[in-house]
Chains A and B, each alone.
Chain A
């Protein structure tokens, strides 16, 4: 049977996994569409801020400051309605959409929501990133956690 071959395949995969680990976890995960690399190269990231009648929340500004210092890029912010912004995020025209989402937002499967920065009731203030951009998502998630006011 295919026993020796499958063992060889397994060995090769283990070897690959180990060399990846040895190479350092910094480059893993990577972005399939290169969002984070591009942000670092162009020194700017495009943010859509979902328009709302409520005053701009502190947490959002804090998150943008943190992302800015983590990447060395400055945010280019535009305001708009939620749907068009999210759709442009999905297509890669924006890097981040900040705003209020509901806990059960149907957008949750089409974009990736960060940890909530703040929450009131069943609404959360969160940052949305393009699906699969795992390096960028990891960074946004970490900074969102740090931006979230302690104790909430």
Chain B
């Protein structure tokens, strides 16, 4: 196993960590503002819960990086790369819960035909419709997620980081919900009681779909599935190329690849005893068939004898 964080991605990791701290700071300010404006409205309480939920991917990313940096130890001889996979599962669940909650809430209030009251409030001695304040707060809540999400996507691709990618999806969910909220409040202002719930309902489908895709990849990763493309259930091209390369070197062998967080681990099961593993250290970078700046992903190559078929009982 190579060192815990490869030197090639050290600076990108640092950048991602900084971005996540910024995310937490911005989201905290949004949560605070929402809490001030939303009063006792049920719709807005849901929005607030979602904002808190959207912090989950950022938090688990920071936690995962903290552990990933630790070297292998006697208690964790394989190192901590897979903390990333675990964090990914948590982030994917958070995204799913957010989508499901939004869908449920909007369906319930549509079915019950809940007419949302948005009362006037007094602000600095002036009477003003709370809806305008809500729109202002929602407009503010849209800006940071759009920017942060955009900044995270290329980083997530370079780092092959599903947690960061899910976090970027969460930011997309955030700004879409904010936008839907603005549309909903304007709709309420115009006298359409269903506008808010309908807008939230439409958005919830897209969030839920992203969440379920993430959950599928996270599950595949945890049951040692073959490496998947970032943010999709398709098999990964880079990994497939590596598999082909290893098959070339060890013809007749059974080559198995799996993800361990952002890394790829390969196991070559040899059919014949004569195909002896290379003596001495292996240069994994030299074996990497893809672009050299991505060769850090190939973290381990292990050899095993092919298992003899057991008689089926």
Contacts and interface: CB of A to CB of B under 8 A. Distances in A.
Most buried by B among A29, A33, A109, A137: A29
A130 B115 contact: yes
B186 A134 contact: no
B133 to A, nearest CB: 13
Contacts of A44: none
Contact of A32 (B119, B127, B186, B191): B191
A138 interface: yes
Interface residues of B, number: 24
B193 A132 contact: yes
A107 to B, nearest CB: 13
Contact of A30 (B116, B120, B189): B189
Contacts, number: 71
A32 B127 CA distance: 21
Contact of B129 (A25, A34, A130, A133): A25
A32 B189 contact: no
A142 B191 contact: no
Interface string A118-152: 00000000000011111101100110000000000
Given A9-B179, A13-B182, A30 B117 contact: no
Interface in A13-54: 13, 16-17, 20, 25, 28-34
B131 interface: yes
B188 to A, nearest CB: 7
Interface of A: 9-10, 13, 16-17, 20, 25, 28-34, 109, 112, 130-135, 137-138, 141-142
Closest 5 CB pairs of A and B: A132-B115, A30-B191, A32-B193, A28-B189, A112-B117
Interface of B: 42, 114-120, 127, 129, 131-132, 135, 142, 179, 182-183, 186, 188-193
Given A13-B183, A28-B189, 6 more contacts: A25-B129, A29-B118, A29-B188, A133-B115, A138-B120, A141-B119
